[in-house]
Amino acid sequence: MDKGALLDPLVVRRTWMQHSWAPWVITVIALLFTAGLNAAVGPVSIPLRDLLRMLAARLPGTSIVGDWPGTFSTILYQIRLPNTVLIAITGMALGGSGAAFQGLFRNPLADPYIIGVASGAGLGAVLAMAARWPADLLGMAAVPAAAFVGALITVAIVYAIAQVGRTTPVTTLILAGVALSSFATAMTSMIMLLSTQELHRAVNWMVGGFALGGWEPVYASLPYLLIGLLTLLTLGRPLNVLQFGDDQARQLGLNVERIKLVIIIAASMVAATAVAFSGIIAFVGLIVPHVVRLLWGPDHRRLLPLAILLGGSFLLSADVVARMVLAPRELPVGVVTSAIGAPFFLWLLHRAKGKVRFW
């Protein structure tokens, strides 16, 4: 029997499954759409038509005459667009690190917020800010670096405490995360109270308000995010193998300790950067990978990039809601993600009680 003939339909089907365009098209369109919406909505609402033409006019080789009000341009490029981009990359960072942490802990309840990494990063960031409130690009670079260190220390402690034998059970993971998180948050509050100036801004930052403004936070965070996210994207296959437990992963030839270290460093770096510039935004890293798994399966080679894309659009929409609910007043976006995320988390916990495995 000709083996090639038997095999080929399978190959075709498999490549189709893996390269199926639908999830990619959906997530990319969602990201672009929510970004446009996010940039258009605000106290001065910019019509979508003008927004698109303003962006198009920036492209080389176009000859669109600027017939829109001059203030639109200032609002868009100085205020809205940097903010939109920062929110987008923050959401992408949270979605990506959430997917990586869940895969690492083999636990769908792990996310940067729940395991305490976000609070640890927050403490690091606030320490850096207390020493020198970010004024220029260089000062800003110190904040994510400090946040990264804070995140790494936290994840190391949580990992060491939560591990029972060779596994990491849900309960110990969450308990360790909660304890460390409370400690870090308490320390953060104390530092903030001691340094009285800028308190309002700091509080806003704490609950996830994008309060800094301008392009500097975007430029300062981009290198960390790019390195971290690109690293995570190469870890899809090992993360799949890790789902079978450390023993089987070792027997399949994976250098388990090294891979885990790389995952922890990359995911913490990404989460810490998000925290450093956008504050502590809960539950994005929990919800987004979960939705991706439900829709498109457990393969981390797709899960990671899709969670990154969807994380961006999720946070962009949450931010639109945050700015519209009590307009003209703006809510910090963290309030909105928590309002959606907390019930979702409880629902997951309820399901886990019935010993339903998630993936």
**Least distance (Å) between residue 92 CB and other proteins:** 21
Cβ-based nearer residue to other proteins, 99 or 333? 99
Q: State the DSSP H helix or E strand holding residue 39, giving kind and residue range, or none if neither.
A: helix 21-40
Structure tokens of 127? 């320490």
Cβ-based nearer residue to other proteins, 148 or 296? 296
Write 67-74 long-range contacts (CB < 8 A, 24+). 71/44, 72/44, 72/46
**Least distance (Å) between residue 247 CB and other proteins:** 7
In degrees, to the nearest 5, what angle opens at C-alpha 261 toward C-alphas 334 and 222? Answer: 45
DSSP 3-state assignment of 164?
strand
Q: How far is CA 76 from the centre of its chain?
A: 24
Which among 158, 201, 200 is positioned nearest to 179, based on CA atoms? 158
**Least distance (Å) between residue 300 CB and other proteins:** 10
- Show the DSSP H helices in 48-116 as ranges: 48-58, 70-74, 81-105
**Least distance (Å) between residue 235 CB and other proteins:** 9
Cβ-based nearer residue to other proteins, 17 or 342? 17
Cβ-based nearer residue to other proteins, 134 or 238? 238
Which residues, including other chains, have CB under 8 Å from residue 250's CB and lie 6 or more apart?
256
Q: Which spans of this chain sit near other proteins (rule: CB under 8 A)?
A: 3, 6-7, 10-11, 13-14, 106, 234, 237, 240-241, 243-245, 247-248, 250-256, 293, 297-299, 357, 359
DSSP 3-state assignment of 356?
coil
**Least distance (Å) between residue 60 CB and other proteins:** 34
**Least distance (Å) between residue 238 CB and other proteins:** 8
Cβ-based nearer residue to other proteins, 71 or 167? 167
Contact yes or no for 97/274 (Cβ under 8 A): yes
Say which DSSP state 79 is in: I
DSSP 3-state assignment of 167?
strand
**Least distance (Å) between residue 165 CB and other proteins:** 10
**Least distance (Å) between residue 203 CB and other proteins:** 42
Contact yes or no for 169/162 (Cβ under 8 A): yes
Cβ-based nearer residue to other proteins, 33 or 244? 244
Cβ-based nearer residue to other proteins, 222 or 241? 241
Cβ-based nearer residue to other proteins, 293 or 323? 293
Say which DSSP state 326 is in: T
The dihedral over CA atoms of 292, 34, 200, 129, expressed in degrees to the nearest 10, equals 60
